[in-house]
């Protein structure tokens, strides 16, 4: 059984959803704030980041793109890409890489400006610049989105990642109103039974 380490509202949620969709045998350990910096977890993921997965043989795999690619390779029947040839798999990797390096990374100046400058007086400027970049990137993503899923009528492991990113976007000053196709995508994913089961695992972890 695979053990997934996750935290609420992180990209690990994407891996969790993919595992649920693919009917993997897995368990999830939802870390509370600060648990990711404890020695026990640092032995699993030295950078203290999620997601991380431990397999039955003790092997460890980290990084959202790597884990989503693994799930897709292990359960291709659950994710019918338009093409399963080398080019089709490369297009999936291209999409996941874009989400990880461009969209995901673009949130950092907005949510964590202190990472880039210690002076709080500069944080508003960083957030404004970050917001401009988010607007450009998500405009591009919305313009090229055909729906209802990333690769058209069939869902893929890219969908949970984009779902997480739209959840983050909804918490910025941009919101989702300017991105109608992505807004509809998020609404569709919100109603997915597998997604709702996964989200319930995080709700149970919240203190009363």
Domain ranges of the chain: 2-78, 86-193
CATH of domain 2-78: 3.40.30.10
Whether pTM > 0.85 for this model: the answer is yes
Instruction: Tell me how far CA of residue 183 lies from CA of 10, 147, 153, in angstroms.
Output: 19, 11, 17
Tell me whether strands 60-62 and 26-30 are parallel, antiparallel or unpaired: unpaired
Q: How many other CB atoms sit within 10 Å of the CB of residue 163? A: 22
User: Any idea which residue has 């080398």 for tokens?
Assistant: 86
Q: Which CATH architecture has domain 86-193?
A: Up-down Bundle (1.20)
**What confidence tens digit (pLDDT) does each residue in 144-187 have?**
999 999 999 999 999 999 999 999 999 999 999 999 999 999 99
**CB contact set of 206 (below 8 Å; sequence gap of 6+):** 8
**What confidence tens digit (pLDDT) does each residue in 141-153 have?**
999 999 999 999 9
């Amino acid at each position: 059984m695979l053990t997934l380490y996750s935290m609420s509202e992180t990209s690990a949620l994407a891996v969790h959803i993919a595992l649920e969709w693919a009917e993997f045998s897995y368990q999830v350990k939802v870390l509370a704030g600060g648990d990711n910096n404890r020695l026990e977890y640092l032995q699993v993921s030295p950078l203290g980041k999620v997601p991380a997965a431990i397999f039955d043989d003790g092997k460890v795999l980290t990084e959202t793109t790597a884990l989503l690619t693994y799930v897709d390779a292990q359960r291709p029947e659950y994710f019918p890409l338009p093409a399963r040839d080398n080019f089709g798999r490369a297009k999936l990797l291209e999409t996941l890489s874009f989400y990880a390096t461009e969209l995901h990374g673009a949130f950092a100046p907005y949510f964590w400006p202190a990472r880039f400058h210690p002076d709080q007086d500069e944080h508003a400027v960083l957030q404004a610049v970050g917001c401009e970049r988010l607007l450009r990137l998500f405009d591009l993503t919305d313009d090229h989105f055909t729906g209802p899923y990333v690769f058209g009528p069939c869902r893929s492991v890219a969908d949970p990642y984009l779902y997480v990113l739209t959840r983050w976007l909804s918490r910025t000053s941009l919101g989702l109103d300017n991105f109608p196709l992505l807004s509809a995508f998020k609404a569709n994913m919100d109603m997915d039974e597998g997604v709702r089961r996964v989200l319930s695992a995080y709700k149970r972890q919240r203190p009363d």
